[in-house]
Amino acid sequence: MAMMAMTIRNSASRRTMMSRPIFGSRSMSLFSLILVPTKLTLVWEHIVMIIGKPVVLDCVREAERRIAGTSFMEYLPMGGSVKMVEETLKLAYGDNSQFIKDKRIAAVQSLSGTGACRLFADFQNRFCPASQIYIPVPTWSNHHNIWRDAQVPQKTYHYYHPETKGLDFKGLMDDVKNAPEGSFFLLHACAHNPTGVDPTEEQWREISQLFKAKKHFAFFDMAYQGFASGDPARDAKSIRIFLEDGHHIGISQSYAKNMGLYGQRVGCLSVLCEDEKQAVTVKSQLQQLARPMYSNPPLHGAQIVSTILGDPELKSLWLKEVKIMADRIIGMRTTLRDSLEKLGSPLSWEHIGMFCYSGLTPEQVDRLTSEYHIYMTRNGRISMAGVTTGNVGYLANAIHEVTKSS
């Protein structure tokens, strides 16, 4: 028992050290404890407005009002809310998708995007035990944890070019080409986390064609639908391109960000199958995997989503609010870049997107924390959702001060 306890402690220590720079758990803990007149967190992905507090969308408030007092408190089926799943598929595959009409999609409600990824990873491990997953460098760090704990071997592929602060398209295509035929690849559908760098539409078409030639399987993580452009349909373009080219794909969807339902843990996992019969089989297996994990997904978040997307008026309001949130991020991005340039920053900031993979060194990040009480992950990733009109000037000046000698 003593040996086991020591092993657990050592393992936990290693995992904590590995996760701190990415998740920013240390930064978030410090942020909540330190009492200073001016402090700023760029770790969280909550959309905040001028007052600096997370937003509850008007469409969500109205949906909550409509479902308040409901007497239905029973378990959802293992596959979740049928209505929520149906509406969610339309966002990814299209309102008039033939795949939906032909019932070729196996889909279940998931515990947000993390749960969708984990469920698919376990599905991959069970039914393709000799396979591995190719993950971009960099990526959301939890991707590595998810596939690791599902016991799926991982490899990486080039994505971000640190010198150009843009997409390493050649490196990406070379890795896709050199991967064994029929490999699994994790792709960010839009608003790549943590870099904010996405392929162009033409690049997506080239990627899709190469995937087709190599018979690769694409699994899309779409955690930020609507935030890249302000238009959920446009942000699903990468997926639509793969569908047009005849791929079988998997998709993880989440409402944490684009509806602000962070704590409700509501999302969807879908897999496009050969036909309806295969889709029924795959869905059955996904439900069997969910059974020992959590049995049934939560009810309340699914009710909110289905109420909003199932009502034309509320859905229209939601689309407007998504556009407002995306425009705010774009506006803050422009203001931050302009402010840095006006200060005479020697660095280029044209790469700032939904996220800013700033290029700040861990030492510069530490200076921002210790001298300016600005908290972010030590890899320099800035969530633009935390930048407001009230703090953008302070942030720009602090970044300039710690980078001006670079």
Q: How does residue 5 score in pLDDT terms, banded at 50, 70 and 90?
A: very low
**Tokens in use for 275?**
């036909």
H helical segments located in 156-236: 169-178, 201-214, 232-235
pLDDT for 23: 41
pLDDT for 149: 98
- Distance (Å) of CA 185 to CA 9, 152, 179, 274: 33, 12, 10, 19
pLDDT for 168: 97
pLDDT for 384: 81
**Tokens in use for 181?**
């035929």
Q: How does residue 360 score in pLDDT terms, banded at 50, 70 and 90?
A: confident
Average pLDDT score over residue span 293-302: 97
pLDDT for 272: 99
pTM beyond 0.75: yes
Q: What is the DSSP letter of 38?
A: S
User: Between 405 and 319, where is the model more confident?
Assistant: 319
User: Is pLDDT at 20 greater than 50 in this prediction?
Assistant: no
**Strand, coil or helix: what is 243?**
helix
pLDDT for 382: 84
Q: What is the DSSP letter of 380?
A: -
pLDDT for 11: 44
Residue type, 207: I
Q: Phi, psi (5° rounding) for residue 138? A: -90, 180
Which domains, ranges and CATH numbers included, belong to the chain? 21-56+315-403 (3.90.1150.10), 75-298 (3.40.640.10)
Q: How does residue 334 score in pLDDT terms, banded at 50, 70 and 90?
A: confident
**Helical packing angle, 141-149 and 2-23, nearest 10°:** 150
Q: How does residue 47 score in pLDDT terms, banded at 50, 70 and 90?
A: low
pLDDT for 356: 74
CB-based contact 154:351 (threshold 8 Å): no
User: Side-chain half-sphere of 262: how many Cα atoms within 13 Å?
Assistant: 10
Closest CA to 376 of 51, 33, 23: 23
pLDDT for 365: 93
CA distance 92 to 19: 31
Q: Phi, psi (5° rounding) for residue 61? A: -60, -45
CA distance 257 to 225: 8
Active site residues: 140, 221, 257
Q: What is the DSSP letter of 70?
A: -
pLDDT for 380: 85
pLDDT for 346: 73
- Work out the number of other CB atoms within 10 angstroms of the CB of residue 40: 21
Q: How does residue 284 score in pLDDT terms, banded at 50, 70 and 90?
A: very high
User: Is pLDDT at 216 greater than 70 in this prediction?
Assistant: yes
Tokens 């509320």 map to which residue? Answer: 314
CA distance 386 to 41: 7
**Strand, coil or helix: what is 136?**
strand
User: Is pLDDT at 387 greater than 90 in this prediction?
Assistant: no
CB-based contact 26:307 (threshold 8 Å): no
Percent of the chain with pLDDT over 90: 67
Q: How does residue 4 score in pLDDT terms, banded at 50, 70 and 90?
A: very low
Q: How does residue 397 score in pLDDT terms, banded at 50, 70 and 90?
A: very high
Residue type, 296: N
Closest CA to 40 of 328, 401, 382: 382
Would you mind telling me the total number of residues written for the chain in this entry?
Answer: 406
Q: What's the chain's average pLDDT? A: 88
**Tokens in use for 263?**
């704590």
For 133-185, write each residue's pLDDT tens digit.
999 999 998 999 999 999 999 999 999 998 888 899 999 999 999 999 999 99
Q: How does residue 90 score in pLDDT terms, banded at 50, 70 and 90?
A: very high
pLDDT for 39: 61
Average pLDDT score over residue span 358-370: 90
Strand partners, 188: 221
